[in-house]
Amino acid sequence: MFEALRALPADPILKLMVQCRNDPNPLKVDLGVGVYKNEQGHTPIMAAVREAEQKMLSSQTSKVYIGPAGSELFNHHIAGLLLGYDHPTIKDNRLVSAQTPGGCGALRVAAELINRSAPSATMWVSDPTWANHVPTFSAAGLTTATYPYYDNAAKEIRFDSMLATLEEAKEGDIVLLHGCCHNPCGADLNQQQWQTIADLLLRKNLIPFIDIAYQGLGDGLDEDAYGLRLLANQLPEMIIASSCSKNFGLYRERTGAVMVISASADASKVTASNLMNVIRSNYSMPPAHGASIVETILDDSSLTQMWKQELNDVCVRINDMRARLSQQIAATGCQTDFSFIPKQKGMFSFLGVTPEQVHQLRDDYSIYMVDSSRISIAGLNPHNIDYVAEAISSVVKA
Ligand code: PMP
């Protein structure tokens, strides 16, 4: 039966990772893969995570099933981290949360719930957006459309075009917004723009869907949740997909959460029953380990403090690398302006160079990035930043 299948092209980022791994050049730099790396180029296990795991090992007594919603304690703390522990939607029983296998699991489950409730709704995503958004939503049966978001030439958000396009959305459509640290462009809405979007969504009866995979890596935990909280305070309904992959460094443990805010407590009960049903018929229940780590940390004030400090160090390092890349390129006398890099947030920015220049960086300098010129800032460190800055400068000058 499998003769009907046709081979699909390899994922460009995975292909790039293999190419970089096989490159013998000792100066090689991987700016492709979207994982955090420390100054030594290593993706470490956070100290708070290690301590939590040790604590869990000595206290865990059972591996019994945890149910479709996952851990209640985890869901409580993630809602607290995202919305604030005393958020009205929690007190008013309008919020339903479920622990999911990573942010991807949350996106897929939410998309299936939307398809069940509003199959003719269009899911509007930013142009550009994370490469896995459209495939995930399409696989769940949703129709997607794009709104303009990033201006590659001006290096800023195309806010007027974004608004103009969203004016064309029909009542009940869903608008996917990156909560912070936009992947791939690093350009986030400012506070005024969030308010303008909130007004538009409310007026046109559109439903916000926030994907937040980098809380704490942009400006800080609360600052990065600004837009999400503003929408949760002002709109009757909302969907959130969150990930603990980056801010807890739990990538392979597949830890995330889906949250749905409904207009009333009664509506929320119906939403909850459908959400659990979608999960049950999908992967049945989420894996426990990563969520146990997160709840162990967030339920213990000293572990929470330790984690917040480590996360802050990550955030500071990323922002420092952004500033230094821009400064170092300018210091080479390069005429091209890269001062937009420190103004952007999180793990990614587009360098804004051509695909030919991307290939030149790869072939002549062993610096790896995807053809769009998206770079993973955490691939930079004090040992390679001068080399990367000089290579970029000489490639754009040539
Ligand atoms: N959304 C965005 C924007 C992402 O960048 C990612 C991770 N790269 C995710 C969701 C999902 O992350 P995960 O499934 O690994 O938790």
Q: What is the ipTM of this complex?
A: 0.99
- The reply to whether CATH 3.30.70.890 applies to domain 11-44+315-397 is no
List the chain pLDDT tens, one digit each, 398 residues: 999 999 998 888 888 989 999 999 999 999 998 899 999 999 999 999 999 999 999 999 999 999 999 999 999 999 999 999 999 999 999 999 999 999 999 999 999 999 999 999 999 999 999 999 999 999 999 999 999 999 999 999 999 999 999 999 999 999 999 999 999 999 999 999 999 999 999 999 999 999 999 999 999 999 999 999 999 999 999 999 999 999 999 999 999 999 999 999 999 999 999 999 999 999 999 999 999 999 999 999 999 999 999 999 999 999 999 999 999 999 999 999 999 999 999 999 999 999 999 999 999 999 999 999 999 999 999 999 999 999 999 999 87
Catalytic annotation, pick one of 211, 224, 307, 345: 211
CB atoms within 10 A of CB 119: 10
Of 30, 246, 307, 345, the catalytic one is: 246
299 among known catalytic residues: no
Cα 87 to chain centroid distance, Å, stands at 22
What's the gap in Å between 331 CA and the centre of ligand 1?
35
Positions of CATH 3.90.1150.10 in the chain: 11-44+315-397
Catalytic residue list contains 30: no
CATH architecture of 65-299: 3-Layer(aba) Sandwich (3.40)
Q: Beta-carbon neighbour count of residue 122 at 10 Å? A: 18
Indicate if ligand 1 lies below 6 Å from the C-beta of 247: no
- Look up residue 242 and give its two tokens: 């969150």
CA of 244 to the centre of ligand 1 (A): 9
Calculate how far, in angstroms, residue 55's C-alpha sits from the geometric centre of ligand 1.
27
| C-beta of residue 89 within 8 angstroms of C-beta of residue 296 | no
The bridge status of strand 367-368 relative to strand 29-30 is: parallel
Q: Return residue ranges of the chain for CATH 3.40.640.10.
A: 65-299
Instruction: Find out whether 376 and 31 touch, Cβ atoms under 8 Å.
Output: yes
Q: Which two tokens stand for residue 118?
A: 């509003």
pTM beyond 0.95: the answer is: yes
Q: Does ligand 1 lie within 6 Å of residue 243's CB atom?
A: yes
Helix (H), strand (E) at residue 144: strand 143-148
Indicate if ligand 1 lies below 6 Å from the C-beta of 245.
yes
Tokens representing 205 are 């009866």
Query: Does residue 219 carry a catalytic annotation?
Result: no
Say if residues 383 and 361 touch (Cβ distance below 8 Å).
no
